[in-house]
Amino acid sequence: MSFQNKLAQMMKLCGLGFGTFSALCIYNEDVKFYKNCLMPFVHLLGPEEAHRFSVIINKYRLLPSSKYVDPDSLKVVAFNRIFKNPIGLAAGYDKNAEAVYGINELGFGFVEVGSVTPLPQLGNEKPRVFRLKDDCAVINRYGFNSDGHEKVLQRMYEIRQNMFDGVIGVNLGKNKMSLDPVGDYVTGILKFGPVADYLVINISSPNTPGLRNMQNKKELYDLLVPVVQAANRVPNRPALLLKLAPDLSYEERKDVADIIMKKECKVDGLIISNTTVSRPDSLSCKKEAMETGGLSGKPLKNMSTQMVADMYKLTNGMPIIGVGGISSGEDAYEKIKAGATVVQIYTAMVYEGPALVTQIKKDLVKLLADDGYRNITEAIGKSK
C-alpha cells in the first residue's frame, strides 16, 4: 500500500473515530464537549447565521432528546399550568414558532416564541447581532423581525392539533411603523389567546423606536386597560404577562408596580428582564460593546436579579419569570430565591450549547437538597 493510501485510510479512521466520539458526547449531553468543541465550531458562522442554523437543527429535531427525567422537586404550578421543570427558553430564539418540538425535547420546562408582530417585517439592517465572547454576552438589534401573526398563528394551531403537551408562551410585539401600537397588542391577544398558555406584552425591547416609552406611567395605564379587557374576552383565558426593561430606575419600577396592581390593569405576572442598553465598565470586548442594541448574557445577571427582587417586593409576590445572565444552576437558584417562580435562558446556550439545560436542572436538584427544600417553589423569594 502506498504512503498516500495509508494516509487516506488513517484520515478516514480518524474521522470515523471523531464522529463516533462526537455522537456519544451529544447523546450523553456532555456540556464540556459542547462548550469546548462543538460551539466554537458553530461560531465559525456569523452570529445571525449560527442562530438560524441552530433553529433549523431544532426544527428538524436533529438532536437526541434529553434522557434526564425531571424529578418532582422541579415541578412548578404557575399561571394555571403545570411546568415539568422551571427552566424555559426565552423569546428571541424561536421567533416564528418553527422549532417548538425540537426545543421541548432538549429538556425545557416551557418555550416562549416571538416576538410576533401583526404584519411581517424584516427587522433592522444587518449586521445586527454581535458576540462578546470574553464576556459571555451578546448584543442584538434585531428589531422584531417576524413572519407576522398569520403564519405564526398557523404554526401554533398545528402544534396544538398535534396534541403538544408542553407549555408555550407567545411574546407579542408591535410593528415598527404602526400607527396603533395598543391595537397591535390587542389584536395579538385575541388571535393567540386560544392557543397560548401565556401571552407576553413586550414593551421593553430597545430595538424598536419609542417602544420603551410605553413603560411610562400614563402610557402603561393607557395600554393595559384595553389589553386586560381583551384578555378577559378570550375563552379559557391565558395568563397575561408584562416584560420589562432592566434599565428602569427604582422610582420607575414603583410606578409600574402601582399601575399593574390596579384592578383594570392587573396582569398575571412579569418577565424580568429584557436586554439592557447599558454597557458595564467590566466588559472586556470594548469594540463590540460600542454597537447599539440590547446587551444580554452574564453582564446582565446581577442587574436583572436585583430587579426581580425589587418587583417581587413591590407587587407583594406577583409571579415572575426571571431571565438575564443565567448560565448555571446557581444563577437560576439565585433568581428563584430573589422572587422568580420560573426562569428562562438563552444567551448562555450560545456559548455552552443545549446540554446546559440538563446541567442546570441537575444543579438545582442538588441545591434544593442542600437547603432542605422538597420542591423548588419553597425557595421562591427566600433570599436573605
Give the residue among 103, 113, 322 at the shortest CA–CA distance from 199.
113
Q: Do residues 279 and 238 lie in contact, with contact meaning Cβ atoms separated by under 8 Å?
A: no
Give the residue among 320, 321, 377 at the shortest CA–CA distance from 110.
321
Give the residue among 335, 198, 367, 325 at the shortest CA–CA distance from 268.
198
Rounded-to-integer distance, Cα 216 and Cα 82, Å: 33
Active-site residue, selected from the candidate residues 54, 146, 204, 205: 205
Q: Can you spell out the DSSP letters for 18-76? A: HHHHHHHHHHTT-HHHIIIIIHHHHTTS-HHHHHHHHHHHHHTT-SPPP-PPPPGGG-E
Q: Is 328 left (phi over 0), alpha (psi -120 to 50) or beta?
A: beta
- What number of other Cβ atoms are within 10 A of residue 67's Cβ? 10
Counting other chains too, the contacts that 307-310 makes at CB distance below 8 Å and 24 or more residues apart are 307/244, 307/246, 307/248, 307/253, 307/272, 307/273, 308/272, 308/273, 308/335, 308/338, 308/339, 308/340, 309/338, 309/339, 309/383, 310/250, 310/253
Q: Is 252 exposed, middle or buried (0-12, 13-18, 19+ CB in 10 A)?
A: middle
Would you call 205 a catalytic residue per the annotation? yes
Query: Identity (one letter) of the amino acid at 357?
Result: V
Record the cell numbers describing residue 168, joined without a space.
Answer: 408555550
- What is the spatial order of strands in the sheet that 129-132 belongs to? 129-132, 137-140, 294-297
Task: Tell me the sheet residues that pair with 297.
Answer: 137
Residues labelled catalytic? 205
